[in-house]
Amino acid sequence: MTEEKTLVLAYSGGLDTTWAIAWLTHDRGYRVVALNIDLGRSREQPVIESRAMAAGAVAVRIVDARDEFLRYFAFPALAAGAVYQDAYPLATALARPLMAKLLVDAAHEVGAVAVAHGCTGKGNDQVRFDVAIKTLDPSLTIIAPTRELAMPREAQIEYLRAHGVDIPWGEKGPFSIDENLWGRSAEAGVLEDPWQEPPPEAYEWTRDPSQAPPEPRYLEIRFERGIPVALDGRVLPPVELVETLNTLGGEYGVGRIDHIEDRLVGIKSRELYEAPAAVILHTAHRALESMTLSKQQLKLKRYIAQEYAELIYNGLWFTAHHQDIAAYVASTQRYVTGTVRVKLDRGQAIVVGRQADRSLYDRSLATYDRGDRFDQSAAVGFITIWGLQARVQARAQLLGDIPEPLKIAKPEES
């Protein structure tokens, strides 16, 4: 190990990646550059720099990627309606391709030959990192120390001590946590029993809905081309808008998700999410689409949304398939501009009003009151033709065969 090779490690500040700095330095002979990527809400932020240096990093870089994360990852997923298995708004899954990109960029800047991340060998995140990194630069070596060694916590602490790093790690938290602006996830510990209700301490961002303020809180969210731009009439940059909704939603207990999830690696796992802003925004966005997209657009888009959610979940962000889907989604959002009124009320985000600049909702067609412009007499002809095949088929094939109790009323002979 004479020639000094440089490596960039995605550094969270937690024990796993702090140990990884020491191990990559001493056992693997790398000069480790620790890259901390701030995507919002990280617990370890204040101690990042000192910990990384103590563990032996040659340099520490801290990147604030919160705005990029929302603008180019979370918001496009929102516009698409991408929610994995109808439950998970994809906070962690959306963060990984951005982190991979920033790792690769940093590697190029410092002339690194390798990158590293703290993922285990059982989760989705290793797949997302590895696939994205290898797509962006196949020449980089990828090292995942935790996956390679699966060293118990005590042994990691011991290893650090043996190399002169004495950090008070405190008690091991009861859960495995990952969080960013788009949501918080908790897994492991008592959550591994899918029959057990999550204990109160599993939640950190949201109040128990039964403890929410008694009076509901109304919000007006403005979207432009499917992207949220203003709250209660105030234009807000993405980070501020999402932070505000996380805080408000959290107070009202909105955004708790208890989900049995299918991981890409085949494992079913119990995941607990808190995603107040994501849940409020998805709910509001869907309501605006119901005003601005046709029935056919809504139908296909629902299907595309699932495909999009899966490709994000499965680590295929940097693909042509994604580009194609993103182009379709962007096209659907041309007129998704307007405002949605949402009521936060003890755990729920309920849409109570919506208006769109180019709405397809036409009151003069829908109304039962005066001013009705819908020609009711035209309905009769429409129904005759609409029901034609059903009538023909019933007479030719069905009427004789249907067992008596289920028999459909025989149409009038004409």
* Catalytic residue IDs: 16, 96, 125, 176
Nearest CA to 347 among 271, 258, 413, 286? Answer: 258
Interaction of residue 274 with ligand ARG, rule CB under 6 A? no
By the rule CB under 6 A, 202 interacts with ligand ARG: no
Which CB sits closer to ligand ARG, 194 or 411? 194
By CB under 6 A, residue 185 contacts ligand ARG: yes
- Cβ neighbours around 190 below 10 Å, total: 14
User: Which C-beta is closer to ligand ARG: that of 18 or that of 92?
Assistant: 92
Taking the CB of residue 90, how many other CB atoms lie within 10 A of it?
A: 24
What is the footprint of ligand ARG within residues 330-389 (CB under 6 A)? none
Please select the residue that binds ligand ARG; options are 187, 243, 289, 345, rule is CB under 6 A.
187
Taking CB under 6 A as the binding criterion, the range among 110-118, 174-182, 303-311, 405-413 that sits at the site for ligand ARG is: 174-182
Stretch 242-261: interaction string toward ligand ARG, x if CB under 6 A: -------------------x
In the complex, the smallest distance separating the C-beta of residue 311 from ligand ARG, rounded to whole angstroms, is 13
d(CA 39, CA 227): 19
| Count of residues engaged in binding ligand ARG, rule: CB under 6 A | 10
Cβ(211)–Cβ(281) under 8 Å? no
Residue 373: phi, psi to the nearest 5? -105, 0
Minimum separation from the CB atom of position 192 to ligand ARG (A)? 12
**Residue whose token pair is 């999009």:** 308
Least distance (Å) between residue 177 CB and ligand ARG: 6
Task: Print the binding letters for residues 104-133 with ligand ARG: x by CB under 6 A, - otherwise.
Answer: --------------------x---------
| Of the residues 89, 203, 207, 271, which one makes contact with ligand ARG according to CB under 6 A | 271
As a three-state string, the secondary structure of the chain is CCCCEEEEEECCCCHHHHHHHHHHHHCCCEEEEEEEEECCCCCCHHHHHHHHHHHCCCEEEEEECHHHHHHHHHHHHHHHCCCECCCECCHHHHHHHHHHHHHHHHHHHHCCCEEECCCCCCCCHHHHHHHHHHHHCCCCEEECHHHHHCCCHHHHHHHHHHCCCCCCCCCCCCCEEEEECCEEEEECHHHHCCCCCCCHHHCCCCCCHHHCCCCCEEEEEEEECCEEEEECCEECCHHHHHHHHHHHHHHCCCCEEEEEEECCCCCEEEEEEECHHHHHHHHHHHHHHHHHCCHHHHHHHHHHHHHHHHHHHCCCCCCHHHHHHHHHHHHHCCCCCEEEEEEEECCEEEEEEEEECCCCCCHHHHCCCCCCCCCCCHHHHHHHHHCHHHHHHHHHHHCCCCCHHHCCCCCCCC
Contact segment (CB under 6 A) with ligand ARG among 68-76, 176-184, 197-205, 233-241 equals 176-184
Nearer to ligand ARG, 58 or 177 (CB): 177
For position 87 contacting ligand ARG by CB under 6 A, the verdict is no
Q: Which residue in 44, 178, 258, 310 binds ligand ARG (CB under 6 A)? A: 178
CA gyration radius for the chain? 27
Q: Which is nearer to ligand ARG, 194 or 387 (CB)?
A: 194
Among 15, 22, 57, 93, binds ligand ARG (CB under 6 A): 93
Please report how close the Cβ of residue 84 comes to ligand ARG at its closest, in angstroms.
Answer: 8
- Identify the residue among 87, 149, 165, 177 touching ligand ARG (CB under 6 A): 177
Tell me: does residue 92 bind ligand ARG (CB under 6 A): yes
> Stretches 177-185, 235-243, 321-329, 366-374: which one binds ligand ARG (CB under 6 A)?
177-185
- Least spacing, CB of residue 138 vs ligand ARG, in Å: 24
Binder among 121, 173, 176, 398 for ligand ARG (CB under 6 A):
176
Residues near ligand ARG, by CB under 6 A: 92-93, 124, 176-178, 185, 187, 261, 271
